[in-house]
Structure 1
Amino acid sequence: MNETVQLNLAFILFLPWYVILAVLYCAYPSWPRTRARWAFDVGSLALATVATVASTQLSVRFGDTSVDAMWPQVLATAVSYGVFLGVMTLAFFVRRNFLRKAPQ
């Protein structure tokens, strides 16, 4: 298997689920749709993507293969999913407070 694909396999396999979560994050709440919210959403998704890819790669590189050769991929999947959910959850609550204070 190509080394680049192997390094990012956990991210690639979870990519459809990350897209579904990103669409749900952007769709709710449906109001207000301002440029500031759009910019915040794009920034949050970009930060989540970078953090997820970085955590995937670090987990694969530092996963212990003495137990099983598949363990680094399992570790990378769990860690990257947790990182993605953590960033998106934090962004959701920050955005909620941001929208309350935004001028209407």
Structure 2
Amino acid sequence: MQQALALILFLPWFVILSGLFWAYPRQPRTAARRAFDLASIALAVLAFVLVARWAHGYAVPTGTAGSIWRQVLATISGYGVFLAAMLVAWLLRRRWFARAL
């Protein structure tokens, strides 16, 4: 359960970011774009989960931080990977669908 805590806490924010990614720009809204958007969101969440699990196992509680360090490292690294994946998807989508217009 501790490894899933970062995802549970960030899930509302991921829903907001994914909704914005899905909604804008409004056109072109083709089946290919919808499939690309769904795949991008799924890959970003999967990347978050994989990196957060890795970071949770990698972190060594030391000093005054104690065991909270595992959660902090998992959350920070997972969130960074989620944002990076969404940024790459956004850039690819702009480039791919700019040609379609």
Aligned to 2:94: 96
Structure 2 partner of 1:38? 34
| 1:56-98 alpha-carbon deviations (Å, 9 max, x no partner) | 1111111111231100100111001100000000000100011
Q: Does 1:80 align with 2:78?
A: yes
Structure 2: state its 5+ residue gaps: none
Matched positions, count: 99
What is aligned with 2:45? 49
Match of 1:70 in 2: 68
Give the Å deviation of 1:6.
Answer: 0.6
**Paired residues for 1:12-23 under 5 Å:** 12-23=8-19
* TM-score normalised by the chain length of structure 2: 0.94
Question: Partners of 1:46 and 1:17 in 2: how far apart?
Answer: 15
Where structure 1 has 5 or more consecutive residues not aligned to the other structure, the ranges are none
- Distance in 1, Cα, partners of 2:36 & 2:98: 14
Q: Percent identity?
A: 46
Runs of 4 or more consecutive aligned structure 1 residues displaced over 6 Å after TM superposition: none
Pairwise CA RMSD of aligned residues?
0.9
